[in-house]
């Protein structure tokens, strides 16, 4: 068969990885999508992405995860990177205090370039290096509460909480969308408009996600 149109999922969600260079973004991505880890991975240049399809609340969700360079000089054009993203995993390294201090900088970048409703999870990566820790879990928790972010410590090396971090983001996104779809349906029925064939506007998420899109990524 020459063509295989990929319609084997209910939702496609774009998630971006951000954070300083060397915090482990690319290894988190390879752990999640291929169950691989590389101790000597090279700095990312430009943009890469990988996908994984999984179940969320009984729906088949395809997560399309974008990864770019933490280093400014290797980064791809920022606005294109964030366009259409409904989730972000903001990574710092628990052994490098500066990468945690820079979380605020990454949040500003998200505010400037991403959708205001984007779901953000902060991840303190390299939790296997507890003996070298320079950021306490408590400090990170306080920041997460202040900035209203979800938070987990992860280890791409030990495959700890990587799955959970993405599952949490995807579930949050799915729940936001379900609530919006339901509200739209209720609004339509209260105005006496026919339910069937009514367009459900998912507000700020329209255009940012696709339900059974016609592209095959």
Ligand X SMILES: Nc1nc2c(ncn2[C@@H]2O[C@H](COP(=O)(O)OP(=O)(O)OP(=O)(O)O)[C@@H](O)[C@H]2O)c(=O)[nH]1
Binding site for ligand X (CB under 6 A): 21-27, 38-41, 43-44, 69-71, 125-126, 128-129, 155-157
Query: Are 217 and 50 a contacting pair, CB within 8 Å?
Result: no
Among positions 63-82, residues that touch Mg ion (CB under 5 A) are none
Using DSSP, state whether 64 is helix, strand or coil: strand
Kindly state whether residue 99 participates in binding Mg ion, applying the rule CB under 5 A. Answer: no
Based on CB atoms, which residue is closest to Mg ion, 26 or 168? 26
Task: Please give the structure tokens belonging to residue 131.
Answer: 């003996």
* Residues 44, 45, 47, 53, CA torsion sign: negative
Q: Is residue 125 involved in binding Mg ion (CB under 5 A)?
A: no
To the nearest whole angstrom, how small is the minimum distance from the Cβ of residue 64 to Mg ion? Answer: 17
Q: Which residue has the tokens 């070298």?
A: 132
Min. distance of Cβ 20 from ligand X in angstroms?
7
What's the DSSP call for residue 207? T
Q: Give the separation between CA 63 and CA 51, rounded to whole angstroms.
A: 5
Residue number with CB closer to ligand X (26 or 64): 26
Q: Please say whether the beta carbons of 61 and 14 come within 8 A.
A: no
Segment contacting Mg ion (CB under 5 A): 10-18, 41-49, 74-82, 199-207? 41-49
| Residue 24 site contact among Mg ion, ligand X, none (CB < 5 to 8 Å, cut-off depends on kind) | ligand X
**For residue 107, what are its two tokens?**
């949040």
Residues near Mg ion (CB under 5 A): 25-26, 44
């Amino acid at each position: 068969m020459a063509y295989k149109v990929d319609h084997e999922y209910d939702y496609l969600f774009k998630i971006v990885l951000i954070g300083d260079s060397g915090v482990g973004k690319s290894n988190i991505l390879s752990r999640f999508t291929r169950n691989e880890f590389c101790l000597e991975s090279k700095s990312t240049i430009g943009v890469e992405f990988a996908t994984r399809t999984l179940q969320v609340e009984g729906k088949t969700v395809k997560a399309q995860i974008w990864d770019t360079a933490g280093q400014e000089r290797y980064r791809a054009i920022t606005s294109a990177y964030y366009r259409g993203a409904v989730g972000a995993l903001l990574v710092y390294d628990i052994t490098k205090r500066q990468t945690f201090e820079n979380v605020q900088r990454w949040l500003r970048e998200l505010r400037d370039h991403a959708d205001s409703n984007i779901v953000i999870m902060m991840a303190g990566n390299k939790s296997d290096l507890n003996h070298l820790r320079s950021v306490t879990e408590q400090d990170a928790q306080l920041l997460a509460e202040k900035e209203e972010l979800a938070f987990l410590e992860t280890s791409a090396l030990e495959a700890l909480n990587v799955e959970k971090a993405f599952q949490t983001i995807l579930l949050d996104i799915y729940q936001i969308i379900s609530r919006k779809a339901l509200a739209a349906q209720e609004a339509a029925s209260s105005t006496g408009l026919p339910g069937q064939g009514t367009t459900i506007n998912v507000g700020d998420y329209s255009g940012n996600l696709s339900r059974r899109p016609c592209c095959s990524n």
